């Protein structure tokens, strides 16, 4: 892991979010990770669509665990894994070119929805049914987003860090940390940036079965975050390391060993309790056998469910969306409006800034498999 000078901590500290462009930011429901419950539906969305969402919410309420121990037992046996990470980019073709030519990813699938003015592209190092992937979202006419200070970086395992860095440099990419051993350790790493400014930590891991191996997020209370991800999300604390010299602590969370699975890296910088989330990074999608039980477990352990479990309007895939303990901030005047079947428009009244949530979306395993058919 990267160790930074004591004055800087691990990564940037809190900063103000940049204004969202005046036009609406159109995102797929799966990409946005949040939706309104039945009581928040616009008046124009009535009849069958509203009834289905209300029925889903009622079904979620009907699931009841007899105790927190019962809930934990179910969570521990649920079939979960990290499916993909979702974020927004300003130039989809340019980003795809960088990821495929410099980082060795493949385009797994792509869908353009011109009537809703957005495009999704899924990239990664193997089939989505067995590998962690990236979902890029491009909204027509929006060429820039604020990454914020809460998001840290993605991690990619490669056979040779030096060769990867030279390829990135040859293609005109930005190298922000030259190859070399991590401070206090032996693992060779480097840092590069993609065209939108997202940071990638390149780690030397020859022969790794899961090259896209990390998502790093900064948190304001590490113990609280660890407890939430263990109990509400069913993750395991794989390792934890304190670095008092550089004033930060990291915790690796996931659903299996780091050498074989993608993991969530939580970073706490001493004395920093809050971060601006920006509007670029969206969330991680996690597979589950039952979104209704998942939502109840999250509520039992103090989590916030921002999209009640149930099928997305217009399609059959069942999801539920939650916020982690670090939550999110929205500038007064912003609002979410459910429109056009399964689409969400994030509008900013009076062109004020909007901060995106640090959210996780749980997706029904069977429904997700059907999407890939």
101 appears as a binding residue in the annotation: no
84 appears as a binding residue in the annotation: no
Instruction: Please tell me the distance from the alpha carbon of residue 95 to that of residue 209, in angstroms, as a whole number.
Output: 24
Degrees to nearest 5, angle at CA 272 with 223 and 257: 40
Burial of 271 (0-12, 13-18, 19+ CB in 10 A): exposed
Nearest to 55 by CA among 357, 256, 292: 292
Copy the structure tokens of residue 64.
């009841």
Strands 133-139 and 118-124: antiparallel
Contacts of 264 (CB under 8 A, 6+ apart): 82, 214, 215, 216, 217, 229, 235, 252, 253, 254, 284
Instruction: Please tell me the distance from the alpha carbon of residue 207 to that of residue 244, in angstroms, as a whole number.
Output: 33
Nearest to 285 by CA among 252, 319, 326, 315: 319
Asked if 365 and 289 touch (Cβ cutoff 8 Å), the reply is yes
C-beta neighbour count of 58 within 10 angstroms: 12
Asked if 80 and 132 touch (Cβ cutoff 8 Å), the reply is no
Query: Could you tell me how many residues make up the chain?
Result: 373
Q: Which of 116, 201, 265, 296 is catalytic?
A: 201
201 appears as a binding residue in the annotation: yes
Q: Is 308 an active-site residue?
A: no
Point out the annotated binding site for Zn(2+). 135, 153, 201
List, by residue number, the catalytic residues.
Answer: 201
């Amino acid at each position: 892991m990267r160790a930074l000078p004591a004055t800087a901590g691990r990564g940037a500290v809190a900063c103000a979010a940049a204004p969202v462009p005046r036009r609406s930011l159109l995102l797929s429901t799966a990409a946005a990770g949040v939706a309104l419950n039945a009581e928040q539906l616009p008046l124009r969305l009535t009849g069958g669509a509203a009834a289905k969402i209300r029925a889903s919410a009622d079904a979620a309420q009907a699931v009841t665990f007899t105790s927190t121990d019962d809930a934990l037992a179910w969570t521990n046996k649920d079939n979960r894994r990290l499916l993909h990470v979702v974020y927004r980019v300003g130039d989809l073709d340019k980003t795809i070119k960088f990821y495929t030519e410099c980082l060795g990813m493949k385009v797994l699938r792509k869908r353009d929805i011109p009537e809703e003015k957005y495009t999704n592209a899924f990239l990664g190092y193997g089939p989505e049914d067995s590998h962690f992937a990236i979902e890029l979202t491009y909204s027509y006419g929006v060429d820039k987003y604020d990454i914020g200070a809460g998001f840290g970086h993605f991690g990619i395992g490669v056979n040779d860090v030096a060769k990867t860095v030279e390829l990135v440099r040859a293609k005109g990419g930005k190298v922000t940390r030259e190859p070399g051993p991590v401070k206090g350790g032996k693992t060779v790493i480097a840092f590069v940036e993609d065209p939108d400014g997202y940071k990638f930590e390149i780690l030397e891991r020859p022969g790794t079965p899961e090259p896209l191996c990390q998502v790093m997020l900064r948190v304001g209370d590490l113990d609280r975050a660890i407890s939430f991800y263990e109990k509400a999300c069913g993750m395991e604390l794989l390792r934890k390391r304190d670095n008092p010299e550089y004033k930060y602590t990291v915790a690796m969370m996931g659903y299996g060993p780091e050498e074989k699975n993608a993991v969530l890296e939580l970073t706490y910088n001493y004395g920093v309790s809050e971060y601006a989330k920006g509007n670029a990074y969206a969330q991680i999608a996690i597979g589950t056998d039952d979104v209704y039980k998942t939502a109840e477990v999250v509520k039992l352990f103090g989590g916030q469910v921002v999209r009640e479990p149930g099928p997305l309007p217009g399609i059959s895939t069942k999801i539920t969306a939650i916020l982690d303990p670090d939550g999110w901030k929205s500038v007064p005047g912003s609002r979410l409006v459910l429109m056009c079947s399964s689409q969400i428009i994030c509008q900013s009244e009076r062109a004020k800034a909007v901060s995106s949530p640090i959210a996780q979306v749980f997706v029904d395993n069977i429904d997700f498999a059907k999407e890939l058919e």
